[in-house]
Amino acid sequence: MVVKSHAASRSAIGLSMMVLFLPRSAAPQTRSSLSIGLQVAQSLDHPELTAIGTHALIALPATFAIYPAVLAYSLSSGTAWRLSTTLRWAPGSSLRVGALYIGAGPFLAKHSLGGMGVKHVGALAQMGAEPRLGAVRLFLEIQVLSGGPVSAEGVAGLRIAINSHS
DSSP secondary structure letter of residue 152: E
Give me the DSSP letters along 80-147.
EEEEEEEEEE-TTTTSSSEEEEEEEEEEEEEEEETTEEEEEEEEEEEEEEEE--SSEEEEEEEEEEES
Domains in the chain, CATH or no CATH each: 28-165 (2.40.160.20)
User: From first to last of its 166 residues, what are the pLDDT tens digits of the chain?
Assistant: 444 444 444 444 444 434 333 333 333 344 568 999 999 999 999 888 899 999 999 999 888 999 999 999 988 777 889 999 999 998 866 555 568 999 999 999 998 876 778 899 999 999 999 887 778 889 999 999 998 778 999 999 999 988 765 4
Element (H, E) at 4: helix 2-20
